[in-house]
Each structure stands twice: as structure tokens, then as C-alpha cells.
């Protein structure tokens, strides 16, 4: 991996975006490497933590590469397909954001299930300033996360959400000092990891699908028949706690 540091643990994978000289801008190599990470997580589902190196999450798609792209590349949805893949990973994902998460960097964070931030975190979608739109999820995912009014301020007025604003609007779950960011993210992942893994997977699947009484019942039917449910409930009733 030339643009990522990847740490594989038993129950989670930690990915650090690492192109320090370009503020971790997302280029084709990083896209390919993130696809490799997704493939591995689809094959063997684990939690995912994504963070950025050097005090920046990611300053967007690589503008040098974007400049050369035309209609065909736009229609390929180079970034949006990756971020959709990230959003659909089987197990929960957490973005730990320190510093700038702009453009595609913000969209990658929006695609994760939970975001944590440091006081210097800044989310924004300055794409119109470059003559393009934020086409990798911001136009709809950000609206789902913070509502139309705030999303339109970000998308149309170039408003940047600092850590306080991101917390206030519910975009991030928590703001923690930079030195504690990864520890807090791991604590959150530890909590997730203590849940039943199939229960987590199905909850994510059902919740991301918008929920429906039928899918809720079908997913629950699978879980009610699982050995893990029996073991966990037996442990609870016996006085243990899972
Ligand atoms: N694509 C390619 N290169 C980028 C980049 C991007 N999205 N963002 C930053 N870089 C490069 C800069 O060109 C610069 O390269 P250089 O040292 O060879 O000149 C290097 O990263 C450092 O950037 P710089 O602007 O000097 O850092 P800064 O700390 O002053 O500012 C940002 C940081 C993130 C505010 C600023 O780099 C920025 O606005 N980046 C573009 C954000 C953007 O529009 N993203 C949307 C893209 S769709």
C-alpha cells in the first residue's frame, strides 16, 4: 500500500490515509487501495476505523487528477462507487477526523456509520468553487445526516462546519483532543465489538435499507435462530453480562 497504512486486527481494520505532501488527497492509487481494503472486509467482515495521517483527514479528491477527468470518468463514479462500497461494508465503520475533511474527504467521512472529530476538524464541500459538484454522496448523504438546511449551506454557500458545528448538527458523535482521538475511536469500536456480530451486521443492513416491518421481522427471524442469541441470553439470565 503506497497511500494507506493498514493495520489488521482480529475484530477490526484500521486504515490511515497517508499522502502527507498532498494533505491525504484521494488519488487513483488511494481509491484502488481502499477498494482492496473493502474487498478484504467483505470477505471477512470486521469493524473499520478510517483516519488520516499528519493532522488532516483528507483534503478532497486529488485536484490534479480531477482536472484531467472528463464525462466518461464522471459517469464511472470513481469516488462515489468507492464510498458506496464503504457505506455498505458489512460491519460498522468509524471515521476519526482530525483537521480538514474537505470535498471527497468529507464524503468519505459521511459514508462511515459514525464520525468522531478533534477540535481542529473542519468539514466542507468546496467543489462548486472548482466548477464541479460534490458528486460522491454529499448531495444526499450530508442531507440525511444533518438535514437540508445545513446541507445546503455547506453545498451552496461553501459553509465549513468546524468541530463545534459538526457536533451541534449531529454530524459527529463526539469531539475529543487529537491525542485521544484514536483511543476514543477504539473504545467505541470495542463497545461495538462486544455485540453479537451477526446482530450488528443485520442491524446495519436493515437500518441502512430504511427499515421495514418485513425486513425487520426476517432479520430478527434469522437472529432468533442463532446460537449466539441463545448463548448471550443464557449468559444474561445466568447473571453474566455480554
Ligand atoms: N488535491 C491535490 N493536492 C492537494 C489537495 C487536493 N485536494 N489539497 C491539498 N493539496 C496539496 C497542495 O497542492 C499542496 O501541494 P504543494 O505543497 O505541492 O503545493 C499541499 O497539498 C499542501 O497544501 P496547502 O494548500 O499548501 O496546505 P494548507 O495547510 O495551507 O491548506 C487545505 C490545506 C486543505 C485548506 C488546502 O490544501 C485546500 O484547500 N485544499 C483543497 C481542498 C478542496 O478544494 N478539496 C475539494 C477537492 S474536490
**Rg for the chain (alpha carbons), in Å?**
19
Give the model's pLDDT for residue 240: 59
Is 97 within 8 Å of 172 (Cβ atoms)? yes
* H or E segment and range at residue 93: strand 93-97
Is 166 within 8 Å of 117 (Cβ atoms)? yes
Per DSSP, 58 falls in state: B
Give the active site residues.
Answer: 107, 127
Question: Within its chain, how far is the Cα of 113 from the centroid?
Answer: 5
**Alpha carbons 216 and 207: distance in angstroms, whole number:** 9
Q: Does ligand 1 have an atom closer than 6 angstroms to the CB of 106?
A: no
**Alpha carbons 201 and 207: distance in angstroms, whole number:** 10
190 by DSSP, 3-state: which? helix
Give the model's pLDDT for residue 133: 97
Give the model's pLDDT for residue 242: 53
* pLDDT by residue, tens only, the chain of 242 residues: 899 999 999 999 999 999 999 999 999 999 999 999 999 999 999 999 999 999 999 999 999 999 999 999 999 999 999 999 999 999 999 999 999 999 999 999 999 999 999 999 999 999 999 999 999 999 999 999 999 999 999 999 999 999 999 999 999 999 999 999 999 999 999 999 999 999 999 999 999 988 789 999 999 999 999 999 999 999 999 995 65
Give the model's pLDDT for residue 209: 87
Is 119 within 8 Å of 143 (Cβ atoms)? no
Distance, CA 241 to ligand 1 centroid (Å)?
Answer: 48
Give the model's pLDDT for residue 1: 87
> Which distant-in-sequence residues (6+ apart) come within 8 Å of 77 by Cβ?
135, 136
- Measured from the Cβ of residue 153, the count of other Cβ atoms closer than 10 Å reads 16
Beta strands 47-52 and 12-17, pairing class? parallel
Is 229 within 8 Å of 115 (Cβ atoms)? no
Q: Does ligand 1 have an atom closer than 6 angstroms to the CB of 211?
A: no
Distance, CA 20 to ligand 1 centroid (Å)?
Answer: 10
Give the model's pLDDT for residue 241: 61
Q: Does ligand 1 have an atom closer than 6 angstroms to the CB of 61?
A: yes
Distance, CA 88 to ligand 1 centroid (Å)?
Answer: 29
Is 157 within 8 Å of 149 (Cβ atoms)? no
Q: Does ligand 1 have an atom closer than 6 angstroms to the CB of 124?
A: no
Distance, CA 123 to ligand 1 centroid (Å)?
Answer: 14
Q: Does ligand 1 have an atom closer than 6 angstroms to the CB of 193?
A: no
Query: Ligand 1 pocket test: which of 3, 18, 19, 23 has the largest number of ligand atoms within 8 Å of its C-beta?
Result: 23
**Alpha carbons 36 and 174: distance in angstroms, whole number:** 29
Amino acid at each position: 500500500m503506497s497511500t494507506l497504512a493498514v493495520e489488521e486486527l482480529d475484530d477490526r481494520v484500521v486504515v490511515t490515509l497517508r499522502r502527507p505532501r498532498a494533505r491525504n488527497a484521494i488519488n487513483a492509487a488511494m481509491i484502488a487501495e481502499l477498494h482492496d481494503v473493502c474487498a478484504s472486509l467483505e470477505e471477512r467482515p470486521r469493524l473499520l476505523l478510517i483516519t488520516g495521517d499528519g493532522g488532516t483527514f483528507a483534503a478532497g479528491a486529488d485536484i490534479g487528477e480531477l482536472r484531467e477527468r472528463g464525462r466518461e470518468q464522471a459517469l464511472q463514479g470513481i469516488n462515489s462507487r468507492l464510498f458506496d462500497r464503504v457505506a455498505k461494508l458489512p460491519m460498522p465503520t468509524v471515521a476519526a477526523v482530525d483537521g480538514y475533511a474537505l470535498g471527497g474527504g468529507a464524503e468519505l467521512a459521511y459514508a462511515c456509520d459514525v464520525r468522531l472529530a478533534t477540535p481542529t476538524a473542519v468539514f466542507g464541500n468546496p467543489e462548486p468553487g472548482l466548477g464541479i459538484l460534490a458528486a460522491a454522496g454529499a448531495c444526499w448523504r450530508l442531507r440525511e445526516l444533518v438535514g437540508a438546511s445545513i446541507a445546503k449551506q455547506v453545498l451552496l454557500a461553501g459553509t465549513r462546519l468546524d468541530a463545534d458545528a459538526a457536533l451541534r448538527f449531529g454530524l459527529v458523535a463526539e469531539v475529543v483532543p487529537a491525542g485521544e482521538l484514536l483511543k476514543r475511536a477504539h473504545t467505541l469500536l470495542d463497545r461495538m465489538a462486544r455485540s453479537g456480530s451477526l446482530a450488528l451486521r443485520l442491524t446495519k443492513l436493515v437500518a441502512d435499507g430504511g427499515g421495514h416491518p418485513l425486513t425487520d421481522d426476517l432479520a430478527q427471524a434469522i437472529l432468533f435462530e442463532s446460537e449466539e442469541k441463545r448463548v448471550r441470553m443464557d449468559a444474561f439470565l445466568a447473571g453474566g453480562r455480554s
